[in-house]
Structures are given as C-alpha cells and as structure tokens.
Amino acid sequence: MSLVSAYNEWDPIEEIIVGSALHAAMPNEDKGFKTIQKTTHDLFDSIRPGAFHQKIIDETEDDIQAFVDELKKLAIQVRRPDPIKFKDKFKTLDWEAEHYFCYCPRDILLTIGDMIIETPNVFRSRYFETFAYKDILLDYMRSGSKWISAPKPRLLNEIYNDSDPNQSALMNLEPVFDAANVLRAGQDIFYLVSDSGNELGFQWLQNILGKQYRVHPCRNLYSSMHIDSTLCLLKPGLALVNPSRVTDDNLPPLLRNWDKLIAPEMVEYTYSDAGSFSTKWLGMNLLMLAPTVAVVDKFQLPLIKLLEKNGIDVIPLILRHGRTLGGGFHCITLDVKRKGKLENYF
C-alpha cells in the first residue's frame, strides 16, 4: 500500500517529513535570489553569504526536535532528510552555485494523492537538494507510490527577469515552480503564479495530474514567493487569509463562498541580528495536523485566539530563527500521508 496519500491540507496526518537546518548556508551567488530581491519588498533582508552561525543552527535543531517530539506523541510517523554538506560549488553545463540547505522540504517536494513530485525549483542553489531525500523517496516508491521528477530546468540567465522590477522575476521559458506555490483541496489544486512559479509550471502540473484534478492558476494574488503565508486552507469551507494581500477581487473564485478568517497583525520578534529572509507574515505559516488541530508559532497569540474561537485547537511551538532561515511549520514539513480520500469540495 502506498505510503504517500495526501489529498488536501487538513485531513489527519499519519506520516510527515520534517526538514533540517544542518549545514545551512546562504549562497554567495544565485541568479534567482538576486533577481527576486529586486522585485519584492518584504523578503530578503541583508543576510550575509556563508554558513549560518552555529548558534542559529543548534537552536533551530532544538526547536525542530521539540516539534518532532510533539508529532510523535500523536503517533505521527516522522522522517528526516540526510542533510548534504557540499565542500565546494557544484556545476551544471551552464553555471555553478553553492548549496543552500535542507530546511524546507515543502519547497522542493509535492505530494498529491499517491504521487510525490520533485518540483523544478527556481533557485540554482537548490538544484540537487532532493538528494538528501533519496532514501526516503526510494522507500515510498517501493511501497507503490508514484515518484515523479519534473524536467530539470536549465535555469539560464534568460529565465530571470532582472530588467523590469514591475514584472515577475521569472520569464516563461521553461517550467519552473516551487512546491510551496501549491495548495490542495481534493480535486482542486491552487497554483500561485508568481516569482516562484511561472505559467509553464502551472501547465506542466496540470498535464501531469490529468483530468482527475483541476489546477487553478492564482494570478495577481501575491507576486513574490509561495502561497502559504497568503492563504491557509484550514478545513472544508474555512480559509485563513492575509489581509495585506488578499481582497474580494483577487481571491480565487472557488474560495469566495468559503468562510474566511482574517489573519490578525503578526507579532514580530527576533533571537538574532542575522537578518530576515522571510516576511513577517511567516507567522501565519501554520500546519494543520487535522481539521481541528494546528501547530502555530507560540508568539502569535491573536492568531491562536482566532483559531481557537473557530473550533481549532492549537499546539503552540516555536522556530526561533524561522524568519532568518526562511521557513515556518508549514515550510519545514511535507505531509506525506493523511487519512481521507479524494473528494470534491466545490
């Protein structure tokens, strides 16, 4: 029986992958990083290239272990990557780059039904990141899961728009997108067209998934990176929305009949002066363990109260350096198996 089975963002989790901060380092040269820096205004603070301070790594690993311990208390199977330590730059036929990290499996791997898909990530520094998950992927394949890898993009200079900051950072020359551009709601899949996912990426995903799924491109919703600090699908009929980005006009039409919780202002805090790689809205980057249980940043008390008022119990935890490393509880996980089946929620 396939170990991969995930059709939405809220059914009870049975198995999950949790990333690692070990060997994380900010790349010195990455054309994608530099291009997106020019087109966004709430990401990419001035983080110096090179390995993150060991204190940041150690404290993050402690926070992740506390998170893993909570998951195991709920009888959730947890898998971890084998982080790669690159000694030098790696090369393709066209360019060379430095490795970034294995902290956010949500960006590079996508589970839909019994498929696990290696997505064509937009950053050169993450080109070989899925190697850290190869043993896990092999286990899933042996269990009957469909293991698919998108065509490896060449990521030539021409795919990055560094001439017009008013346009997307990605040109439409080949399929490129991060898995974190995607939200699942049964037969309907929401795909954010943005600086981390282009139109050809949307088309490739729809072609691969076929008629069983309907992939909806979300245009003019949020122009920068990833959808999971803009929209959170909490359970059928209920979504959490970012009021600074989502309006009645740009909300995906299918979601306009759902009840919407308006995310309160995020509580900002810092545990280091290393800088921020993420918007303050990372605070709403929560993980639904079940339709009535969420893991939420413990400092986001207004958000916690809002969720509890609407029937969702909260497990308050912390990732002290989440904004520096660029990932909250949704980012650093990949829900591999959830109870439930494919349904039509619309």
Cβ atoms of residues 296 and 329 within 8 Å: yes
| 99 in active site | no
Residue 28 token pair: 């010195």
| 232 in active site | no
Cβ atoms of residues 208 and 117 within 8 Å: yes
- Of 107, 178, 195, 297, which one is the catalytic site residue? 178
- Of 188, 216, 331, 335, which one is the catalytic site residue? 331
* CA pair distance 233, 199, nearest whole angstrom: 23
Distances (CA, A) of 198 to 122, 134, 329: 10, 26, 25
| 178 in active site | yes
- Of 23, 99, 216, 226, which one is the catalytic site residue? 226
Contacts of 88 (CB under 8 A, 6+ apart): none
Picking from 142, 242, 125, 155, the residue whose alpha carbon sits closest to that of residue 192 is 242
* CA pair distance 124, 259, nearest whole angstrom: 39
* CA pair distance 137, 16, nearest whole angstrom: 13
* CA pair distance 319, 238, nearest whole angstrom: 26
> What is the number of other CB atoms lying within 10 angstroms of the CB of residue 295?
21
Q: Which residues are catalytic?
A: 178, 226, 331
